[in-house]
Each structure stands twice: as C-alpha cells, then as structure tokens.
C-alpha cells in the first residue's frame, strides 16, 4: 500500500480554493528549516524591565537605545505620555503631541519622536531625561528618520509632497545641526520634493545609504549625494495604503502597497508575496491602520503585519508561508496583543509593547502569552492523492517531539471529506513524563475521494509536529 506525507506547515492559502488543494488557516504556528511545525513565539515578561502596566491606554512605541535605555510611548491619544522604563519602575519624562502612531529615530545624542504633530526629542546626554520640542522649527511630521548624519521628516501641513532635512551633526557634544531646518541660509538643511506624482508623502524609511519615500501610488528612492545632499535614484509604481506597514528587511522593505498587495523591494526589483492570502486582504474593511514588524528569534525569521480593525496579525516566513497570529479571550479569538515592536541589537531581543500597556519580549521557550494559553492549529487542503478514485485510509502515523511533562496531555487530529464537515476529534496522547518522542498511530479511518486534515494543539508544553504520514489503498471505483 502506498504511503505519502500529510504536509502540515504555515502555508496558509486562505485566498485560494481549499477544495483544489489550497491549505486552510494556519493559526499561531511557525516552522523551522526542516519543516517542523511549532507554535509561534510567545510573549513573556522581560527580566530587565518593569513588568507591570505602564500605560492603561496601551503602548504605541518602544525604543531601546544603543546606550541601553528603554523608552515607551503611551496609547494613541493626543499628548501621549513618554516613559523611560527601568528594571523596577517607569519614569514619566514628558509627552508627545499628535494622534498618529509614533515613529522614532536615534542619533548618538538624541531619540527623536514624531507622531503627527510637533517633532520632539530626548537628549541622551543630559540628566534628567526630558521630552522637549526639537529646535529649529522642523515640520509637523508623521515620520522621522536618520540618514547621512541628518534627520529627515515629511511635511504634513505646508507641502505634503516635500521631505525636509536638517543640517548634519555627529557625536554627542554638539547636535545643533539636527536643530537647524531653515533652508536658504548659511547651513545645508533643505528639502526635496517627491514629485513623480502629486500625491502626498505618507511614509519614510531608510537603509544605510538610501531613503525610501512612499506616496499614495508610488515609491521613490533617494541616495545621499555630495552635490545635492539627496538625489533621486529610482521611482516605481508601488504606493503605500498603510503608512505604518513598511518593515525593513536588511537592505529592502516590505509593505502593503496601493493595491493591497504585500511587496518586498530594494527599490529596484519587486516581489509580491501575498498572492496566497490576497482575497483575505481584499475582504478587509480597513487596512490603513496596519502596522508591521520583523521577528527574528531562534530558528524563526518572519515578517508580521497587524490589522487592528480586522483583529488579525498575518505572519510570513520565506521558508514557509503565511499564518495567522491571534490570542484567546475565553472561548473567542482575539487580536494578538502586540501593539509595537523593536528589535534590540544590544540585547538581541524582540521587545514588544502590548495593547494593555506592558513591556514584554517574544521567545520560543515559553508556552503562554503573559499567562494566556496559546491555542494553535494547522490545516491541509483537500488531497486526492493523484486520483479521483476512492481511497481507504488504512493508517495515519504522527511523529511528535515535546518537552518533559508532569502528567499526560493531549492534542487532536480531525479530517473532512467535504468543506466544513470536520470529523469528531481524534485525541492524541502525548504520553507520560519522559516519553519525549511519541509516535501515534490511528488505523482504518474510512474511505474518501478528497480529504483535508486538521491538527490542533494547546501549547501548554513545548510541542513540535515532526511529520505525519498516511498509508492508504486506492480502490477500484
């Protein structure tokens, strides 16, 4: 009798037809380079920072400086509080004006913050730390970046097609250049106009030697230039429908474009990575509040986009595919509570701020989100094993790997021979303490023409789904 694998992975293709073989939703799972399925990273308290609720409105930005200080900005309301978070407490340093999602840029001397209104600074060379308005009359901005020893910000009030930049400044002793924004004087501050189209600048990003400027219907790339400070390098027909969706991917960016596609680009070549979930994106009522971030922890390197109005976070792994990250509130699904993210090179940690106002980190070696159990599931599409003839499922073999247990625990396998008609769950025993590599066998699971499979588990332990194989016989009719 032939034996073939039942492939479970985070290869959700929920924008395609499941009856034709497209895998269904993959909930709260990731895979490693060998295709082993595990639950997604969990949110845990960070041992170096205050674990209590810092702001009851939630946190909208966190930034861990190269000097080792952690700053957090409160929820999305005007005049949000800015905190400096230490091991045992959080100190209120001031407020940030504006009601848009905050953005931060760091220099050797400053943390610079923009949130849709006046740009502010925290002087890292002064004690006590105080949030103040950045000098030099920079524009009211939603985005601010640091590049080529200058600060750059979009202009939201006077001319929304312009990007303004400061004079250069280096070191910690004199940052006056970053507070010089008056063009036409003795300095070299000024502006450039993203003039490919008369659409507004909606987002800024930077790599080591280039600045990405997104408009509603195009993206323009500028490079540092000795003659004109910033010179245009490329313009492409990929706009931005969610100003906080761009995620830096080494020397490239990934973002939600003006056609609701998620694209990856270095500014020259473009790749659409959202084909498998395109119908999901198209069906969303609101995408403009989407924000993205990159998670790199253990064997997992993925890009995540949260859609707050929709309540889903969609995660993408290049060596796997798409999955959906969510949380539980009782018996109902709820939004994954990460509301902002920052990868700290110094700590090599994925720091997060949550919707309920706490600081945490994403780790693989944990089984819950700050006390909330992570429920995970993964589905295949309908498999016909290469023939429309009926098949008899003689046996299914499931190979698992798990951590130590103090008592027996279970997960479940289901199957469906028609869309939405799942069988009663087959309980999978994970064995007793010490049985860390169980192989489970189910025999004689009926006759089918096409069959989908679903594996569900609760991450109360470190569980990995290594492989699933089906032994079957093709019947004559």
Q: How far apart are CA 474 and CA 456, in angstroms?
A: 28
pLDDT value, residue 433: 65
248, 250, 251, 254: CA torsion to nearest 10: -40
pLDDT (0 to 100) of residue 406:
45
Backbone φ/ψ region at 270: left (φ over 0), alpha (ψ -120 to 50), beta: beta
Inter-residue contact 245 to 279 (CB < 8 Å): no
Across-strand partners of 74?
A: 59
- Dihedral Cα 191, 197, 199, 200, nearest 10 deg: -20
The pLDDT score that the predictor gives to residue 145 is 98
Contacts of 181 (CB under 8 A, 6+ apart): 136, 137, 138, 139, 164, 165, 166, 189
Q: Let me know the angle formed at the C-alpha of 269 by 268 and 274, rounded to the nearest 5 degrees.
A: 130
Structural domains of the chain sorted by starting position, each given as residue range(s) with its CATH number in brackets = 3-40+377-474 (2.60.120), 42-371 (2.130.10.10)
DSSP 244: B
pLDDT of 199 reads: 83
Give residue for tokens 């609101």.
286
pLDDT of residue 401: 86
C-beta separation of 253 from 242 below 8 A: no
Q: How far apart are CA 291 and CA 255, in angstroms?
A: 9
Residue 92's alpha-carbon distances to 46, 86, 260, 312, in angstroms, are 20, 11, 38, 31
Whole-angstrom CA distances from 73 to 44, 54, 203 are 19, 9, 19
DSSP H helical ranges for 391-453:
none
DSSP single-letter state for residue 390: -
The pLDDT of residue 279: 95
pLDDT of amino acid 83: 96
**Rounded-to-integer distance, Cα 237 and Cα 254, Å:** 14
**What is the gyration radius of the CA atoms in the chain, in angstroms?**
25
Per-residue pLDDT of the chain (477 residues; tens, 9 = 90+): 799 999 998 899 988 998 899 999 999 999 987 789 999 999 999 999 999 999 999 999 999 999 999 999 998 778 899 999 998 888 888 999 999 999 999 999 999 999 999 999 999 999 999 999 999 999 999 999 999 999 999 999 999 999 999 999 999 989 999 999 986 655 789 999 887 677 899 999 999 889 999 999 999 999 987 777 899 888 899 999 999 999 999 999 999 999 999 999 998 899 999 999 999 999 999 999 999 999 999 889 999 999 999 999 999 998 889 999 999 887 789 999 999 999 999 999 999 999 999 999 999 988 899 999 899 999 999 999 999 999 999 999 999 987 665 455 678 999 999 998 999 999 988 766 667 788 999 999 999 999 999 999 986 667 889 999 999 999 986
Cut 0.75: pTM above it:
yes
Please say whether the beta carbons of 155 and 139 come within 8 A.
Answer: yes
- Residues β-bridged to residue 453: 415
């Amino acid at each position: 009798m032939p034996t073939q694998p039942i492939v479970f992975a985070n290869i959700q293709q929920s924008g395609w037809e499941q009856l034709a073989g497209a895998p269904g939703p993959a909930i709260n799972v990731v895979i490693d380079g060998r295709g082993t399925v595990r639950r997604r990273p969990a949110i845990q308290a960070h041992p170096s920072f205050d674990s209590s609720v810092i702001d009851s409105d939630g946190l909208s930005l966190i930034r861990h400086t190269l000097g080792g200080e952690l700053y957090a900005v409160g929820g999305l309301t005007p005049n949000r509080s800015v905190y400096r978070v230490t091991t045992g407490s959080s100190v209120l340093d001031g407020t940030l004006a504006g009601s848009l999602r905050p953005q931060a840029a760091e220099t050797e001397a400053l943390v610079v913050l923009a949130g849709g209104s006046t740009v502010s600074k925290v002087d890292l060379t002064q004690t006590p730390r105080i949030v103040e308005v950045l000098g030099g009359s920079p524009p009211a901005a939603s985005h601010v970046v640091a590049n080529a020893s200058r600060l750059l910000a979009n202009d939201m009030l006077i001319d929304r097609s312009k990007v303004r930049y400061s004079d250069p400044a280096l070191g910690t002793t004199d940052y006056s250049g970053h507070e010089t924004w008056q063009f036409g004087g003795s300095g070299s501050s000024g502006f450039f106009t993203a003039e490919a189209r008369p659409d507004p600048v909606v987002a800024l990003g930077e790599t080591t030697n280039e600045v990405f400027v997104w408009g509603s219907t195009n993206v323009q790339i500028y490079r540092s230039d000795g003659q004109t400070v910033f010179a245009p390098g490329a313009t492409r027909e990929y706009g931005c429908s969610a100003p906080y969706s761009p995620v830096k991917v080494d020397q490239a960016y990934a973002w939600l474009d003006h056609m609701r596609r998620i694209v990856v680009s270095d500014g020259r070549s473009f790749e659409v990575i959202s084909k498998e979930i395109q119908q999901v994106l198209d069906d969303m009522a609101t995408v403009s509040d989407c924000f993205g971030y990159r998670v790199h922890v253990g064997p997992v390197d993925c890009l995540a986009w949260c859609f707050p109005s929709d309540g889903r976070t969609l995660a993408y792994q290049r060596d796997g595919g798409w999955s959906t990250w969510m949380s539980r509130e009782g018996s109902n699904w709820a939004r994954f509570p990460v509301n902002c993210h920052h990868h700290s090179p110094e700590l090599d940690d994925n720091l997060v701020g949550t919707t309920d106002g706490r600081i945490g980190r994403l780790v693989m070696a944990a089984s819950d989100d700050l006390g909330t159990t992570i429920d995970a599931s993964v589905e295949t599409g309908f498999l016909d094993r290469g023939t429309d003839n009926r098949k008899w499922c003689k046996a299914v073999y499931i190979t698992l790997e798990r951590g130590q247990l103090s008592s027996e625990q279970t997960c479940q396998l289901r199957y469906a021979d028609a869309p939405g008609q799942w069988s009663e769950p087959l309980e999978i025993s994970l064995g007793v303490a010490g049985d860390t590599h169980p192989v489970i066998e189910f025999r004689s699971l009926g006759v089918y023409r096409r069959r989908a499979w679903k594996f569900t588990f609760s991450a109360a332990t470190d569980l990995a789904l290594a492989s699933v194989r089906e032994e079957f016989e093709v019947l004559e009719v």
